[in-house]
Amino acid sequence: MNPLNNKIALITGASSGIGKACAAAFAAAGARVILSARRKNRLLELSADLKAKHGAETFIIELDVRDNKAVTLAFNRLPDEWQSIDVLVNNAGLSRGLDKLHEGSIEDWEEMIDTNVKGLLYVSRVVVPGMVARKSGTIVNIGSIAGHEVYPKGNVYCATKHAVDALTKGLRMDLVDTPIRVCTVDPGLVQTEFSEVRFRGDTERAKITYKGYKPLQPEDIADAVMFCASAPPHVQIAEVLILPTAQSSTTLVHKVL
């Protein structure tokens, strides 16, 4: 039997891209899945789809991870049967803009820092204590190659993903005397809505990001998350850096246009 059968997985940012693919992968493995994001309609559609395809049980939480009060309330008020979260996938995140730092938008910076760093912290702060009390759990943070390297004009987004890397390492230290595992899955270029969000709906500019090579697909990242979550209890997959074959660094992508 799949080790994730009947386990509870919480996915933040389940309405799109990597989070949506993770939700589908956990559902296919027999897990019960808490789907969280701001766009409730998408979560409702996904929930119906997972029910039809996998008979999956899901629980929807419409949530902006930047709102600490709402985050705390949502997870403190979970129905009894959804409280014992086994796997937390901290995936909600975004980039805004691609600008030189001295020309950047402060609103963009705040949105990235509030979502990618503070949102991950808020969710972890309310979910991890339950794991500690139950002496069981796996946390998978979605970092990025941008948490390993900085690229031109990536300044603040890269800083947020370096922060995710530091928080993952720090949490792993803080939980070393518990059975809880802390993992990070760090993708390179994945074809999702990420670039549309970064370029605020400029579809043509977003498309160029994924042109001329085969980018990763959200399911490729979900596979890595499942690898972390379904490893035997004594195995902690600390870090997975996963790139398209045509990418060797943030700035070197072999494109045939």
Binding site for ligand 8X3 (CB under 6 A): 144-146, 154, 157, 189, 250
- In the region spanning residues 4 to 23, those forming contacts with ligand NDP, defined by CB under 6 A, are 12-13, 15-19
Nearest to 32, CA basis, from 60, 3, 8:
8
Nearest to 115, CA basis, from 91, 93, 147:
93
Nearest to 196, CA basis, from 205, 184, 186:
205
- Of the candidates 194, 225, 239, 240, which one interacts with ligand NDP according to CB under 6 A? 194
When CB distances are held under 5 to 8 angstroms depending on the partner's kind, the choice from ligand NDP, ligand 8X3, none that residue 91 binds is ligand NDP
Quick check: 162 binds ligand NDP (CB under 6 A)? no
At closest approach, how far in Å is the CB of 247 from ligand 8X3?
Answer: 8
At closest approach, how far in Å is the CB of 213 from ligand NDP?
Answer: 13
Looking at the Cβ atoms of 126 and 189, the one nearer to ligand 8X3 is 189
Helix (H, G, I), strand (E, B) or coil at 77: coil
- The yes-or-no answer on residue 157 being catalytic is yes
Looking at the Cβ atoms of 43 and 206, the one nearer to ligand 8X3 is 206
When CB distances are held under 5 to 8 angstroms depending on the partner's kind, the choice from ligand NDP, ligand 8X3, none that residue 23 binds is none
Pattern of binders to ligand NDP over 75-114, x per CB under 6 A? ----------------xxxx--------------------
- Amino acid code (one letter) for 174: D
**Contact call for residues 15 and 42 (beta carbons, < 8 A):** yes
CA distance 257 to 66: 39
Helix (H, G, I), strand (E, B) or coil at 169: helix
Please tell me what DSSP assigns to residue 101: G
Looking at the Cβ atoms of 28 and 197, the one nearer to ligand NDP is 197
Quick check: 66 binds ligand NDP (CB under 6 A)? yes
Q: What is the sign of the dihedral through the CA atoms of 224, 11, 21 and 215?
A: negative
Q: Catalytic residue among 122, 157, 210, 213, which? A: 157
At closest approach, how far in Å is the CB of 135 from ligand NDP?
Answer: 28
**Contact call for residues 10 and 225 (beta carbons, < 8 A):** no
User: What phi, psi does 36 have (nearest 5°)?
Assistant: -135, 140
When CB distances are held under 5 to 8 angstroms depending on the partner's kind, the choice from ligand NDP, ligand 8X3, none that residue 250 binds is ligand 8X3
Phi-psi region of 200 (alpha: psi -120 to 50; beta: other; left: phi over 0): left
At closest approach, how far in Å is the CB of 184 from ligand NDP?
Answer: 10
In Å, how far are 54, 82, 88, 118, 178 from 189, measured between CA atoms?
29, 33, 23, 23, 34
The set of residues, in sequence order, having a beta carbon less than 8 Å from that of 60 and lying 6+ positions away, is 34, 35, 36, 40, 43, 44, 47
> Site size for ligand NDP, by CB under 6 A?
29
At closest approach, how far in Å is the CB of 126 from ligand NDP?
Answer: 14
Catalytic residue numbers, as ranges: 157
Binding site for ligand NDP (CB under 6 A): 12-13, 15-19, 37-39, 63-66, 91-94, 115, 119, 142, 144, 187, 189-190, 192-194, 197
